[in-house]
Amino acid sequence: MTLLAQLAEAVAAGTVEVLDLTAPLSSETPILNLPAPFSNTVPFELREISRYDERGPAWYWNDIVTGEHVGTHFDAPVHWITGRDGEDVSRVAPRRLVAPAVVLDASDRAAQDPDHLLQIDDVREWEAEHGPLPDGGWLLYRTGWDARSGDQAAFLNADETGPHSPGISVDCAKWLAEQTPLIGVGVETVGTDAGAAHGFDPPFPCHSFLLGAGKYGLTQLRNLDRLPTRGAVLIAAPLPIVGGSGSPARVLALVEREG
C-alpha cells in the first residue's frame, strides 16, 4: 500500500484523527484593537446576496467582508516592515503549508500571569525534555487563552494600561527567528505578540523578528490541548490573496491515535 493510501485508511478508521484548530469565523470573532493613532482591521461580516428569494429564487449566498488578520489567520513575511521584501501570502509554497508541529504548554504560567512571556530558557528546557524543535516545523505556544476566544473583552483583556495577554520575550522571539529551524510560531491569542508588546523594544518582536527572517505566524488557534507534544502534522491553508499580508486560514492537525 502506498503511504497516501495508508494515510487515507488511517483517517477513515480514525487512527489518524483530523483536528480542527480553527476558530469559527463570524462577526463575533475577536479582532485586534490597536491604540490611536493606528488604523484597525474590520471584523468579519456576511452580506447576504440572496436567500431563496426574489434576489435569487433557488440559491443562498453571501459576500464576505473581512480583514486579512481576522480570526485564525496566517501572517506572511510582508506583513512586517522587516519582511517587506519577503513573501506575500499568495507566494508561500504549498509544501510549507504541511509541516510538523510541537506544543509548548505554558498555560499554568499564563493563568497566573496574563502578561507571561516565554523565555529562551523555557524553550531550552522543553528541548531537553522533548527533543529538538522540528526542522521546517511549527512551535505551537499553548497558553490556555483559547478559553477566552468566545468573548472579545476577555480575549483582549485590556485595562487602562492596554491589553494583557501572554506572548514571547524580545530575546526569545529573536532566538526563535534566527537560531532555530522553525518555519513559524502558532499561538492561541489575537496575534503572535503579547498584549503589551507595543511597548517592547523592538515593538511587536515576534512580528519583527520572525517575519523578518522569512518565517510565518499563526494565530487564534484552538484545540492545542488535544495535540501531542510532538508528532502532529499541521495543515495551514490561508487563501492565496495576491499581494496579501496574511489571510484567515483553516488550520488542521493530523494526530495519530492508538489503534
Q: Which residues bind Mn ion (CB under 5 A)?
A: 69, 75, 246
Catalytic entry in 69, 73, 79, 116: 79
What does 193 bind: Mn ion, ligand 23J, none (CB cut-off 5 to 8 Å by kind)?
Answer: ligand 23J
Q: Minimum CB separation from ligand 23J for residue 73, in Å? A: 7
- Of 33 and 119, which has the nearer Cβ to ligand 23J? 33
Q: Minimum CB separation from Mn ion for residue 127, in Å? A: 27
Q: Cβ distance 140 to 189 under 8 Å?
A: no
- Of 220 and 254, which has the nearer Cβ to ligand 23J? 220
Active site residue 79: yes
Q: Minimum CB separation from ligand 23J for residue 149, in Å? A: 14
- Of 75 and 146, which has the nearer Cβ to Mn ion? 75
DSSP character for 138?
E
Residue nearest to ligand 23J (CB): 191
* HEC secondary structure over 190-248: CCCCCCCHHHCCCCCHHHHHHHHCCCEEECCCCCHHHCCCEEEEEEEEECCCCCCCEEE
Q: Minimum CB separation from ligand 23J for residue 72, in Å? A: 11
38 bridge partner residues: none
- Of 79 and 215, which has the nearer Cβ to ligand 23J? 79
What does 204 bind: Mn ion, ligand 23J, none (CB cut-off 5 to 8 Å by kind)?
Answer: ligand 23J
- Of 220 and 232, which has the nearer Cβ to ligand 23J? 220
Nearest-angstrom CA–CA distance, 99 and 89: 17
DSSP character for 15?
S
What does 68 bind: ligand 23J, Mn ion, none (CB cut-off 5 to 8 Å by kind)?
Answer: none
Residues belonging to the chain = 259
Positions that interact with ligand 23J (CB under 6 A): 32, 34, 69, 75, 79, 191, 193, 204, 219
Using the structure block, give the residue that is written with the C-alpha cell 499581494. 243
Compute the Cα dihedral for 124, 20, 225, 11 and give only its sign: negative
Q: Minimum CB separation from ligand 23J for residue 74, in Å? A: 10
What does 32 bind: Mn ion, ligand 23J, none (CB cut-off 5 to 8 Å by kind)?
Answer: ligand 23J
Instruction: Give me the active site residues, please.
Output: 79
